[in-house]
Amino acid sequence: MLYTVTTQLGKYVITMMSSGVVLGVGFQLSGGDSQMNELIWYSWLGGVIIGTMIGTNSVLEEHCKAGPRNVVITGSTRGLGKALAREFLLSGDRVVITSRSPESVLQTIKELEENIQEGLSVAKKKERKTLSHAKVVGTACDVCKPEDVKKLVNFAINELGSVDIWINNAGTNKGFRPLVTFSDDDITQIVSTNLVGSLLCTREAINVMQYQDKGGHIFNMDGAGSGGSSTPLTAVYGSTKCGLRQFQSSLLKESRRSKVGVHTASPGMVLTDLLLSGSSLRNKQMFNLICELPETVARTLVPRMRVVKGSGKAINYLTPPRILLALVTAWVRRGRWFDDEGRAVYAAEADRIRNWAESRARFSVTDAMEMYTENTWVSVFSLSVVCAFIILSSSGGPLPGT
């Protein structure tokens, strides 16, 4: 334990102190005088302080990852919900899955249990110990019905003993089309599932979590329209997501002194039936650029959900580094998911998850970009200061303030 703490703290302290080294070298190369030494020492001291703070936080987060979480995910027998459930199981958590269809629940439990066994058969000793805690159970639940939601909560408590994380993932849409083409039943189902369902589930989750010693965390899923922007051809869906954002804002104030954290998770655009329903050829060409598979999104969201603290956090898949990467690589993303005629070219779910239990060391360029965000920006700032100093010195112009 002492070695782990020392390693984590040392890594961040050294990285942060390196900004002082960069400044020192820059000043020497530019002919800086001895009066600059004081600034350099301040940089080193600042690196020690900031690095210690970041390193300590990292150690606390690693400690927070220990032990299984008890998780409830609504709408989790397909798409993103199923991928989230699988990723939580990969982390050794205990998960309750739900769906309106009892048959879908039973089938999904069977598939996920097979995944766990496959993972155990190929896992290393440490990973095998983690996976041994994994457990998946499920029950049918229509989140639009208060009695069903109450039964879901009771089921989760009976099976798991407590609920650490509750994710309101259940949602529906009826395709991309003008409002006037939606039937009464269409509108009722979308609003009931997306908005009313989240309200009912959040209420019942709070009723349980507020009496738990460790509290708990609730996530509502963002989507198109959450920020109040227009959503033509998905007006009903967008309205429900905008309503959820207002709900989140109100709930944050209501639960200010509560042990229950309320958060949002934004998966971005995910290749699921919900997104593809009624999508046109033009839509699919756009999906090639900005969409991701459910497993990819879940792999990023779940680790952050597991260690969330406080309340009011927004966990987003489309972070600035990912958006930048998508723009830079736009030309190579053509035909990534759909060909020029709109036909899907990506693998089926069963093929995609065949090696789902591989090491968590799975890495991407954007993961690497996000790992040491604090260090990266401090170093960039230091380098920019050095460059500015060298340029001004070389040009013979006066430095600011002289």
Q: What is the pLDDT of residues 331-378, one digit of tens each?
A: 777 877 777 777 877 777 777 776 554 444 444 444 444 444 444 545
- Over residues 52-57, the mean pLDDT reads 55
Encoded tokens for 188: 């009722």
Please tell me which residue, 36 or 162, carries the higher pLDDT value: 162
Please state, rounded to an integer, the average pLDDT across all residues of the chain: 79
Sheet containing 260-266: order of strands: 135-140, 94-99, 70-73, 165-168, 216-221, 260-266, 314-316
Task: Kindly state the tokens that stand for 9.
Answer: 């703290």
Burial of 362 (0-12, 13-18, 19+ CB in 10 A): exposed
Residues written for the chain: 402
Lowest-confidence range among 115-124, 139-148, 316-325, 381-390?
381-390
Query: Above 60 in pLDDT, residue 183?
Result: yes
Task: Specify the CATH class of 68-371 in words.
Answer: alpha beta
Banded model confidence at residue 21, pLDDT cuts 50, 70, 90: low
The per-residue pLDDT for 138 is 97
237 has catalytic annotation: yes
What was the pLDDT predicted at 28? 57
Interval 85-129: pLDDT, tens: 999 998 999 999 999 999 999 999 999 999 888 878 777 777 788
User: Judging by DSSP bridges, how do beta strands 165-168 and 70-73 pair with one another?
Assistant: parallel
> What residues does CATH 3.40.50.720 cover in the chain?
68-371
Which residues have a Cβ under 8 Å from the Cβ of 155 and sit 6 or more positions away? 96, 137, 139
Summarised one tens digit per residue, pLDDT across range 282-309 is 777 777 777 888 998 999 899 999 999 9
Burial category of 55 from C-beta neighbours within 10 Å (exposed 0-12, middle 13-18, buried 19 and up): buried
Q: Are 144 and 196 in contact (CB under 8 A)?
A: yes
Give the pLDDT of residue 126. 76
Q: What's residue 363's pLDDT? A: 43
Q: Report the candidate in 292, 400, 308, 397 with the shortest Cα–Cα distance to residue 352.
A: 292
If pLDDT is split at 50, 70 and 90, which confidence band does 173 have? confident
pLDDT digits (tens, 9 = 90+) for 211-244: 999 999 999 999 888 888 898 988 999 999 999 9
Q: Which of 82 and 342 is assigned the larger pLDDT?
A: 82
Q: Which amino acid is at 51?
A: G
Between 92 and 47, the more confident residue is 92
Query: For tokens 């990023």, what's the residue?
Result: 300
State how far the alpha carbon of 119 is from the alpha carbons of 105, 114, 131, 271, in Å: 21, 9, 8, 25
Q: Choosing from 12, 42, 211, 237, which is the catalytic residue? A: 237
Q: Over 60: is that where the pLDDT of 26 sits?
A: no
Percent helix, strand, coil in the chain (nearest 5)? 60, 10, 30
Q: Average pLDDT in the 166-185 region?
A: 92
Amino acid at 201: C
Residue 53: CA count within 13 A, CB half-sphere: 9
Confidence of residue 383 (pLDDT cuts 50, 70, 90): low
pLDDT on residue 161:
96
The reported pLDDT for the residue numbered 366 is 47
Q: Are 54 and 77 in contact (CB under 8 A)?
A: no
Cβ neighbours, 10 Å, residue 275: 19
Q: What is the mean pLDDT of residues 195-208?
A: 97
